[in-house]
Every structure is written in structure tokens, then in C-alpha cells.
Structure 1
Amino acid sequence: MGAHIADALGWPFTSVPPGQRLEFMEQIKFTVAGTAAAPAVNLAKLGVEVGAVGRIGNDTIGDFVRSTMNSYGVNTDNLVVDARRQTSASLLPIRRDGSRPALHVIGANAGLTETDVPWSIVEKAQIFHLGGAFILPGLDGAPMGRVLKRVKELGLTVTMDFLMSPRDDAQRVIGPSLRYVDYLMPNIEEAGWLVGTEDRQEIIEWLHTQGVGHTLLTMGGGGVSVAANGDKETVLPAYDISVVDTTGCGDAFSAGLISGLLDGLDVMGAAERGLACGSLVATGLGSDAGIVDRNQVAKFQQTQARLAA
């Protein structure tokens, strides 16, 4: 449940041409993205039965999001069409090193509320992933906390990733939800903005104090920090890959971790699969790059070299 976005990506981006001059790129691509939609697509690739909950607009971008997700096998019956807002979308000029600025329209994601939760479907699930805290104004804060509290009461495992820029009210917005989160998976930069420090140990300690069951902080080439509440962290080293685009790597990590948990792996084993999935996505352009299926991910884990810890 959460953010559903259509991305328009261009690679490689070097500079904005002056005036109305033309610059050429090697590739432009359109993908389904967002911290709910992208994990859903990758979970379907990994053979997981997954349903999407979110909002799209009554427009061609929304049609693209729904049809593309359907083509991968994601159930989109609970994507609500918002008649007042366009489908959320981003323009992403990708630099040669894989980094990128982002230009974003929040669109229909702003209309998502707790009334959109299909509880008859949720109660049949095993894991509830909330993707997009901080860019879901109709759900952020107390409503999100109420949703996750009820999810936990139904006996589901809760996973969460968020999408944020620095903001003064961040801890107040996310505070009501953290106690219900079993596995929290932000990138280290966003986690630092939330907690107000760049010290990783302070970040982990603060999140654990708020009640988070496990922190999984993705750190790009630094790997992934994994820590159960009250325990010291373990850092899993990154894979040695040629990075094309970092878009969607965190979403792919989420999908890999969730699929691992569903397979009965412990948190370290699930995080290892997540790390492999995130690395594969970084080797291509867009959130849907890299991952083919579970066998391919397993082979990558077995054969791909790792960077030094």
C-alpha cells in the first residue's frame, strides 16, 4: 500500500541545454515506480502473490501504471481511480554515475486515505508493506498509525519504507507508526534526516527506541546495515557491480527482503536476497531493470563478487 508513480527516465544526463537548444540522450524509458508499486512489480517477478493498494488518476499515465503492473501479474483491483488528481509522476535525468535529481508531481498519491484499505483482502495476507510515508498526506501521521495498528492486530508482519526530504515535522509525522513496524528499510540519508544525525549508531538506537523491530538501512556501495531491536548491527557488504541507475534500488531491496521472509528465511538471509535484488536493479535503467526471476537472483548471489566490508 502506498505510492504509485510513473517515472520518465533519461540517460545519461549531463546538463540542461540553454534556451531551446537540443541535447541528445542514449535512452529514455517509462517505468512503474514508487515505494509501493515498484516493490509489487519486483515481488511478482520473484513469484510472490501480491496485491496493490493505492490511487491513480483517470488519465493515460494511470492506464500505463495499471496495465504494466497487470502484465507482471500484480493484482490491481484495489488501485482507486481519483477523478480529481492526475497520476503521480516523476522526471528523472540520470547521470552517468547513476545518481539523479528528481522532479515530482505528487498527484493521486495525495488522495490515498485509510478508507482505501481493503480489509477483507488484508486479513488474508501474510505481510503488509507500507511504501511512501511522508509523500502520502492523506495517510501520514495518525491515520497511518491506526492502519498499521489494525494490521498488527490481524497478525500480519509489517514492513515499511519511506520517501522524504528534510522536514521539521518528520518525527511527528512518522512517530505514530514506528511501534507497529517489524522491518523498516529506509536509505541511510533519509534515516539521518528523520533522526537528525549522520551517526549510524545514533540513528539505529533512536529507531529502536521508537519500537521498530528491525532496522535495515541501505547504504549504496556501503552495503546494508541490519539490526534487530536491542542488538548490534551487522553490515552486509555490497556487490561489485557497474552502476547505471540507482532509481528503485531500495524498492527492489524491499521486495527481496519480503520474499525472503515469506520463504522462511531469517532476517539476514532475507536481507541478503534484498541486497542482491537492489544490486541487480542498479545495473539497468529504471525501477523495473535487472530482476528476471528468483532463480536469476539466486545465481547472482552465488556468483557475483562482493566489495570489501
Structure 2
Amino acid sequence: MARVLTVGMHLADVLGRYVEAIPEGQGIQLLDEIRLTVAGTAAATAVNLAHLGETVSTVGVVGDDALGTFIVNRMHDTGVSTEHLRVDQSLPTSATMLPIRRDGSRPALHVVSTNGQLNEQDLQPELLNGTSLVHLGGSCLLPGIDGRPSADFLQKAKEHGAIVTMDFIPSRTSHSRDWQAIELCLPFVDYLLPSDDDAYYISRADGDRHQAIDYYLDAGVKNVLITMGEHGVSISNNDQQDLRLPAFDVDVVDTTGCGDAFAAGFIAELMRENNVLAAAEYGLACGSLMATGLGSDAVDLTRPRVEDFRRTASRSAP
């Protein structure tokens, strides 16, 4: 049985660096590198967890096509159980094109496709047998389970004694729809792991971190961890507010997958130490290390590699 179960987004990323501008007409721009990677807030987190030595299973949907085969094979090869990664015959696999800028930022050109096919029937209670932690990744972009289906599954997870972690990605097409996608889930979430931009958008905090923190704690979340890129992470619960830990100093190549790497590191260390500060420190190391390469699997997050990075990397003030 898997100790960790990831549920949600599975997709393939096609990344190119560096893209200064999209050429007009039939123009061409020569790039340094193009990669195809497993991505998504459930899939990438699961792969990183497997590299970190966790026993992990994943729940999602991919298409019966080359990208779907790539995702299944890649995840299986890293040690993730793909028994519950369903193949849908009717749609192509979800995918994103990411033109990477020189500062590591990137716009995203995304098709929901098979991620929209994940449904309540995929969330069977039997998945929770032997599971110590459930990570729900990609809410707001999972129309088949957003809202009540996700909340019911997380409630069952809590009844089974599992820890619940959650990350969301607002569609930004409708604030009310995005809020409804996560609202019912929040009382069952032990650790919420959004980026600062996403946290502020949903909470309408307009960059006010304390307002955002209060918003999620009032909604029932036990611990709110807001990742802030080069500024590290903010940790809050009902006992402490906005405790900040600094990020590690790295030369950023690409920020794709850094949040998923943080989530994986946080979860893996939480399972060992049951200490939110130690887990956040480890998550920061994983997220910072991932930023040194291109894509969500730019770095294999083995524990020796992460520990070596933690010993040698410098850190900025929080």
C-alpha cells in the first residue's frame, strides 16, 4: 500500500528556453533547449516523492496517445504506482507549452482535456486503505471533481486518519467558480500549499499576506504555507502568524515545477519528522534546487542530492 496518494493534474509540459518573443508570421527563433517532461500538481509531486524514497500512488487521467504513454511510463519508471492512472480513449492528454524567459518566468499555454475527465468515480474510498497522506493538486482546473466530490473524498481521508495537503491553480476565468472549487475542501486541509499569486487571487488580498492568511485560516485550514519564490515561504496557523523561512540562493533557469518540488519535499519530510518547520525547510531546498534546471523533472530529488545542496547553498534573509 502507498503511504502517499496524489490526486489531480497529470500533464505533459513542452518547454523551450529562452524565448524572448514569439516570431511573427512564419518566423523562427532558435532556442538553447527544448524538453518534454511529466508535469502537473499531482504527477510532478508524485515523481519527486518517489525520488525522495516515498511509497506513492497517483490518481488521474491521461489520453491514449504518445503523451499519455510517456507520462505513464515515466512515472512507472520512477517508482510511482500508476494502477489508478486511468487512460481515456476519447481525448488527448492534457498538455502545456511553456516558453521560458531568461528570468525563469514563463507564460503557460494549456489545454485541460483529460484532466477534465477525472471524476467522482475515480475517488473510491478503497484508495485510502493504508494511505497516510493525501495530496490534492490542481483544484480549480479539475471540473469533474472540484467542489463537493473533492471535499467528500478529503473528509473520508480524514476519517481514515490521513494527513491532507492541498494545492490549487485558479483558472482566473471566474473568481466565484474558482472559490467554489476549493471552499468546501478547506475545513479538511491540514496543510495548504499555494503560491503567493494564487493565494492572493483567491483571497482577494491584493498582495496583503496577512489578509490572505486570515482568509484561509478562517475557512478552516489548519496550516497555511504560502510559497514566495526567492523570498522563501510563510508559515501560519492558529498559534503563529507569518513565520518566514528564507529561500536558498540559486541561479534560476526555470521556475516550472518549483511549487510541486516544494510540496514533495515538504510532504516527504513531514512524514519523517511530523514538524512543519523542518518540513518547510526541506521543501524550500527541493523547490530551490528544481529552479536550477529546465522543467518539473530538471533535477532528480534524491535525498543525498538534496542534503548536499542544503549543506553548500547560501540563503538570503527572509
TM-score normalised by L of structure 1 = 0.98
- Correspondence 1:81-230 to 2 at 5 A: 81-166=87-172, 167-169=174-176, 170-197=178-205, 198-230=207-239
Once the two structures are TM-superposed, the CA of residue 18 in structure 1 deviates from its matched residue by: 1.5
Once the two structures are TM-superposed, the CA of residue 6 in structure 1 deviates from its matched residue by: 0.2
SS at 1:216's partner residue? strand
Q: Which amino acid aligns with 2:170?
A: M
Once the two structures are TM-superposed, the CA of residue 291 in structure 1 deviates from its matched residue by: 3.4
Q: Which amino acid aligns with 1:92?
A: L
CA distance in 2 between counterparts of 1:261 and 1:161 reads 16
Q: Does 1:3 align with 2:12?
A: no
Deviations along 1:53-94, one digit per CA (max 9) or x if unpaired, are 100011111000000111111110100111222110000000
8 Å contact 1:165–1:190 — kept in the other structure? no
Per the alignment, residue 231 of structure 1 pairs with 240
Paired positions, count = 309
Once the two structures are TM-superposed, the CA of residue 265 in structure 1 deviates from its matched residue by: 3.9
Q: Which amino acid aligns with 1:220?
A: G
Q: Which amino acid aligns with 1:115?
A: Q
Q: Which amino acid aligns with 2:306?
A: V
Per the alignment, residue 36 of structure 1 pairs with 42
CA distance in 2 between counterparts of 1:41 and 1:174 reads 24
Once the two structures are TM-superposed, the CA of residue 165 in structure 1 deviates from its matched residue by: 3.7
Deviations along 1:162-206, one digit per CA (max 9) or x if unpaired, are 112433213222110000000000000000010001200000011
Q: Which amino acid aligns with 2:200?
A: G
8 Å contact 2:125–2:153 — kept in the other structure? no
Q: Which amino acid aligns with 2:266?
A: L
Q: Which amino acid aligns with 1:300?
A: F
Once the two structures are TM-superposed, the CA of residue 230 in structure 1 deviates from its matched residue by: 4.4
Cα separation, partners in 2 of 1:230 and 1:175, compared to 1, 3 Å: farther
CA distance in 1 between counterparts of 2:156 and 2:20 reads 47
Which of 289, 297, 305 lines up with 1:280 in the alignment? Answer: 289
CA distance in 2 between counterparts of 1:5 and 1:19 reads 29
Q: Which amino acid aligns with 1:192?
A: Y
8 Å contact 1:291–1:297 — kept in the other structure? no
Per the alignment, residue 253 of structure 2 pairs with 244
SS at 1:91's partner residue? strand
Cα separation, partners in 2 of 1:307 and 1:291, compared to 1, 3 Å: farther
- The alignment-based identity, stated in percent, is 47
Once the two structures are TM-superposed, the CA of residue 231 in structure 1 deviates from its matched residue by: 2.1
Per the alignment, residue 53 of structure 2 pairs with 47
Q: Does 1:271 align with 2:277?
A: no
SS at 1:76's partner residue? coil
CA distance in 2 between counterparts of 1:229 and 1:295 reads 34
Q: Which amino acid aligns with 1:153?
A: E
CA distance in 1 between counterparts of 2:288 and 2:50 reads 18
8 Å contact 1:280–1:289 — kept in the other structure? no
Q: Which amino acid aligns with 1:27?
A: E
8 Å contact 1:217–1:225 — kept in the other structure? yes
Cα separation, partners in 2 of 1:173 and 1:230, compared to 1, 3 Å: farther
Cα separation, partners in 2 of 1:96 and 1:227, compared to 1, 3 Å: same
Once the two structures are TM-superposed, the CA of residue 118 in structure 1 deviates from its matched residue by: 4.1
TM-score normalised by L of structure 2 = 0.95
8 Å contact 1:181–1:212 — kept in the other structure? yes
